[in-house]
A and B are shown apart, each in its own frame.
Chain A
Amino acid sequence: MTSQPTTPTTTATDDVVRVEDLQVNFYTQLGVVRALNGVSFNIPRGKVLGIVGESGCGKSITGMSIMQLVASVGKTEGGKILFNESAGGNPINILDYERNSPEMRKIRGNNISMIFQEPMSSLNPCYTISDQIEEAIRLHQTEDKVESRKRAIEVLTKVGMPNPDRIADSFPHELSGGMRQRAMIAMALSCTPTLLIADEPTTALDVTTEANILDLMRELQSEIGTSIMFITHNMGVVAQMCDEVAVMYLGRVVERATVDDIFYEPRHPYTIALLQSIPRLGRTKGILASIEGSVPDPYSRVTGCPFHPRCPVAIKGVCDTILPEETIVDAAKGHTVRCHLYS
């Protein structure tokens, strides 16, 4: 486990993004899905924030909300996403912009970019790698064709692509999964964004490729200084990549702490269960299998603490009726938790 220097994160720190009480609902034929029920967290400048939680807890939706890329059936019905381009600058609320407005488009791909889970399908099969990278460069940086091509090759070299000149003119189907993910990272970094949102960028890759890509991201992060929001299932990856961690459960952040605190001083019963389900040896995938029960139906609403039906230490009469507020357990390190045990 790498130990990162832990900076205190209080409200006074310089954050790239502050998400406050974000609520997103999906209006589907079968009913309303409350995907995010008041998500709050911050990403300190130059740090890597890990977002972990079970499948369906709203990790991807949180990332997409920052990009304003949530499918149009999903409505943002409250909260703020404050984005601060440079230290000491004025934060802007991303949600003030229309999805397809010029302002929003200027932020996307330029100031904030995103990498997706599936490298196999993240690239358009009809265009070459360099076409797709240059598209972003020409949109945000330079209109010059020679220059954009040069930068595309540069960034491909930077992500460790072998033979970047030749790869640039290949089509996605001619590359392996790892190479495609490198190409995606190159595309995301091509305009040196302030924030990179990586949504499980390595889940679809084999273990060796995964390790390479993670190393690469860590390297580039310290080199460029980009802040990263790193979404994952995998606590092992969290330990390797992140400075800080937010644990999500059913559309809420239930615990937020530095990576050391999460591993050595976890507070929320859900975080504890998550950690205990990591096998000591061998496979690190499918770690959540041993938490009993499953996530409740997204269409229904659980009263009280959403985790109480599965919580071994739930307090009768409290946990099943009152929703716990966010409580600060260690102000200096910015450790907060949403659990009645600590309020």
Chain B
Amino acid sequence: MAVDATQLPHTTATHVEDVGQIPQWQLMVRRFRKSKLSVGGMYVLIVMYVIMLFSDFLAPYEHNRLDSNYAWGPPSQIAIVDGKLSTFALKQTLDTERLQWLYVVDTDRPLPIQFFVQGYEYRFLGIFPSKLHFYGVEEGYQVNLLGADKDGKDVLSRLLKGSQISLTLGFVGVVISVIIGSIVGTASGYFGGSIDNMIQRVIELLRSFPDIPLFLSLAAALPQNAPVEIRFFMITMIIAVIGWTGLAREVRGKVMSYRNADYTAASVAAGGSHWHIITRHLIPNSLSHIIVVGTLAIPAAIGSETALSFLGLGILPPAVSWGVMVRDAQTIEAITTYPWMLLPVLVLIITVLSFYLLGDGIRDAVDPYA
């Protein structure tokens, strides 16, 4: 009985071979899809960012428009009157005993909700001037779908406007810090020697500062009356400056181990330039790790902005961010009597949670064994 092993035919089980041929990133996408919560988080974030892009269009009022007739006004009631989607005028009375505004819905005075109305002027996507808004009511009245704050400012409009800062500030800060961290970490790990030594000293020094106090003192040093764009930019920089050190260390460690790997050695032997080796071998190998760290740092950065604004050191009124709004919700009175003041907190929690879920899913997909 003799069988020639070389004549054994190919297996019919093509499925297995498939797996070997799928590019690495497609495998990651597959693994990522498996985690329902992370996919959910991703969709929530996509929706939020799309809403942010259209926030001025969706907001019926300018975020600072005061109207004492609606101070602490409750969320508007919506009903269909005469076949039209309407809200109602409010009658405002003062409860002299408890010093509170009381509102009664005047059902005799329906206010049909109008769509695609003209309102305050804004620049769509920061470029195209427009006055078009998605909805509104008759001039002289206000529709506050999510209630109004103590000055009668529309909470929904403020939430929408605030998203422009809250959803971008932390994000941009982390992106910058990730860029700094990767560059410095790669340089440190790749060149080693005295460059590495110096960089490590700087990192050590920066890490010896407790972050929150450093954060607070840097924020306190910002000019008080600078325009909101400048403040935004500076807070972003603070987040970046404080955040990059951890990533730089990790990237350095990875780069050091890859530098000693065979393919790098081969590339060096083949006369590859530093630039070539770094961009072709080292960065792609650390990229997935960098993305994971970045995604998980964003919620923390968003939290930092909120905390700063909450303490009055971040974004300052008249500009609005979710942190600024949260500041108005910090009293027991606000929470118990005007619960809609907690909406920015809720939105923040959802955002932060979605980022954590997303980051978690990416991490598991990128590195299933860690």
Contacts and interface: CB of A to CB of B under 8 A. Distances in A.
Which among B1, B4, B8, B9 has the highest number of chain A CB atoms within 10 Å? B8
B22 interface: no
B3 A272 contact: yes
Contacts of B15: 297, 299-300
Contacts of A299: 15
Given A272-B2, A294-B13, A312-B4, 9 more contacts: A269-B3, A292-B6, A292-B11, A293-B9, A295-B13, A297-B13, A300-B13, A302-B13, A312-B8
A252 interface: no
A276 interface: yes
A299 B13 CA distance: 11
B97 interface: no
A293 B5 CA distance: 11
Contacts, number: 65
A235 B16 CA distance: 26
Interface in B277-313: none
Interface in A228-274: 266-267, 269, 272-273
Interface residues of B, number: 17
Contacts of A313: 3
B79 to A, nearest CB: 48
A295 B12 CA distance: 10
Contacts of B8: 273, 291-293, 310-312
B7 interface: yes
A309 B5 contact: no
B5 A267 contact: no
Interface string B110-125: 0000000000000000
Nearest 8 A-B pairs (CB), nearest first?
Answer: A293-B11, A296-B13, A292-B8, A276-B5, A273-B5, A297-B15, A309-B12, A297-B16
Interface of A is mostly: loop
A29 B34 contact: yes
Given A29-B34, A300-B15, A293 B10 contact: yes
A290 B5 contact: yes
B17 interface: yes
A76 interface: no
Which among B10, B15, B16 has the highest number of chain A CB atoms within 10 Å? B16
A292 B34 contact: no
Contacts of B2: 272
15 contacts: A273-B3, A276-B4, A290-B5, A292-B6, A292-B8, A294-B11, A296-B12, A297-B15, A302-B13, A309-B9, A309-B11, A309-B13, A310-B10, A313-B3, A341-B1
Contacts of B5: 272-273, 276-277, 290-292
Interface of A: 29, 266-267, 269, 272-273, 276-277, 290-297, 299-300, 302, 309-313, 341
Contacts of A29: 34
Contacts of A302: 13
Nearest to B11: A293
A296 B14 CA distance: 8
A247 to B, nearest CB: 14
Nearest to B12: A309
A296 B13 CA distance: 5
Contacts of A290: 5-6
Contacts of A294: 11, 13, 16-17
Nearest to A276: B5
